[in-house]
Amino acid sequence: MASQSSESKGTRNQSLRQFLIPNSGYGGLGLRLAIVQQLVTLHGGSVQAESAGVGQGATFTVQLPLASTTTGTLNSDPIFACPPGLQGLHILVVDDDADMRDLVTCVLQDCGAEVVVVASARAALQHLLDATVSQPDVLVSDIGMPEENGLSLLQRVRALDENQGGQIPALAVTAFARAEDRAAALQAGF
């Protein structure tokens, strides 16, 4: 339950019901309260309005039902099915955003992939040039990174020898969804 009081002019209690009806002649306030009424009703709740009288303000109280607590088991079905072929795949993930790195890593590892994560294009190139580590099977890179973006990274990767990862399959991950962004990613070799 939540209550909101106002220090408005107030009104007689019987007039308050009109505030909860759309187009009741009370302008913006009436419309906003009518929208609140409809949303609360859709969620199984109710709205009450009270006023001590003209000049005393008004109080609007919203009551919503609590979610029922049920015993039993949660649905453990996965939200998505892992694509075939990820099991045992070595994947290099490049993203400057820690949350995205964590999300992509979690999803790929849940699908059985072995994941190495770096936070920059520079670190990705260092990893690819490190002769002491095995080369990844796939590169997954963010496009919009500071310092050096994913497009530039992939152009530099494509300039490497094949044994350094120059021909590695690459996947672009980006929030840039315009047609020209897609074209630029494909042009870069993603």
pLDDT tens-digit readout, 133-169: 889 999 999 998 989 999 999 999 999 999 888 999 9
How many percent of the chain have pLDDT more than 90? 37
How many percent of the chain have pLDDT more than 70? 75
Residue at a domain's end among 46, 63, 80: 63
Is the pTM above the cut of 0.75?
A: no
Side chain identity at residue 3, one-letter code: S
CATH number, domain containing residue 28: 3.30.565.10
First to last CA, the chain: 53
23-37, 68-82, 176-190: least confident range = 23-37
Identify the domain containing residue 8 by its residue range. Answer: 2-63
Q: For residue 174, what pLDDT is reported? A: 82
Pair 53, 99 in one domain: no
Is pLDDT at 21 greater than 60 in this prediction? no
Q: For residue 75, what pLDDT is reported? A: 59
Which residue spans within the chain are E strands per DSSP?
A: 2-6, 46-50, 58-63, 90-94, 114-118, 138-142, 170-173
Cβ neighbours around 8 below 10 Å, total: 12
Pair 95, 173 in one domain: yes
Question: Is 123 a domain residue?
Answer: yes
16-20, 53-57, 122-126, 185-189: least confident range = 16-20
Pair 94, 18 in one domain: no
